[in-house]
Structure 1
Amino acid sequence: MTESQSVFFAEMALDLHAEPTTERTVDRIVAYAKIATNCDEAGIMLVHARNRIETAAATAKCVGDSHNLQIRHDEGPCLDALDNPGSIIANNTATDSRWPKWGPAVAELGIRSALCVGLETHDRRYGSLNLYSNTVNAFVADDLAVAEIFARHASVAFSAAHNEEGLQLAVDARKLIGQAQGILMERFNIDADRAFAVLRRFSQQHNVKLRDVAEQVVESRRLPSSSSARSEMAL
Structure 2
Amino acid sequence: MPADGPLLSSLVAVMGAIRHAELSTVPVALADLVNLIEQQIPVVNYAGIAVPARRVERTPAAVITEHPVIAMLHDAERHGGAGPARDAASSQDTVLVADLTVEGRWPQFTREAARVTSVRSIAALPMHYDRFVLGVLILAAERPEAFDATVLADAADLAALAAGAWSAVVREEQLRRALSSRDDIGQAKGILMERFSITADAAFALLRQLSQESNTPLLDIAQHLIATVI
What is the TM-score normalised by the length of structure 1?
A: 0.77
- Match in the other structure for 1:233: none
- What is residue 72 of structure 1 aligned with on the other side? 79
Which blocks of at least 5 consecutive residues in structure 2 are unaligned? none
The secondary structure found in structure 2 opposite 1:86 is: coil
User: Residue deviations 1:66-120, cap 9 Å, x none?
Assistant: 1232233344222232233532332432333444432242123224132210112
Matches within 5 A, 1:164-203: 164-203=172-211
TM-score normalised by the chain length of structure 2: 0.79
Secondary structure of 2:116's aligned partner: coil
State the Cα deviation string for residues 32-69 of structure 1 (Å, max 9, x = none): 123124342313142657xxx93353333432331232
The alpha-carbon deviation at position 135 of structure 1 amounts to 4.4
| Structural mapping, 1:1-235, within 5 Å | 1-4=2-5, 5-21=7-23, 23-36=24-37, 37=41, 38-46=44-52, 54-112=61-119, 113-221=121-229
Give the deviation of 1:140 after TM superposition.
Answer: 3.7
Aligned-pair RMSD on alpha carbons?
2.8
Q: Percent identity?
A: 25
Going from structure 1 to structure 2, the CA distance change for 1:135 and 1:24 (only over 3 Å counts) comes to farther
Q: 1:184 to 1:79 in 2, by over 3 A?
A: closer
Distance between the aligned counterparts of 2:185 and 2:90, measured in 1? 38
Task: State the Cα distance separating 1:151 from its structure 2 match.
Answer: 0.7
Q: Is the 8 A contact 1:30 1:58 kept in 2?
A: yes
Which amino acid in 1 is paired with 2:29? R
- The alpha-carbon distance between structure 1 residues 144 and 107, as it changes in their structure 2 partners (threshold 3 A), is same
Q: Would the alpha carbon gap of residues 219 and 45 (structure 1) be closer, same or farther in structure 2, given more than 3 Å must change?
A: closer
Greater Rg over alpha carbons, structure: 1
The count of aligned residue pairs is 218
Unmatched 5+ stretches in structure 1: 223-235
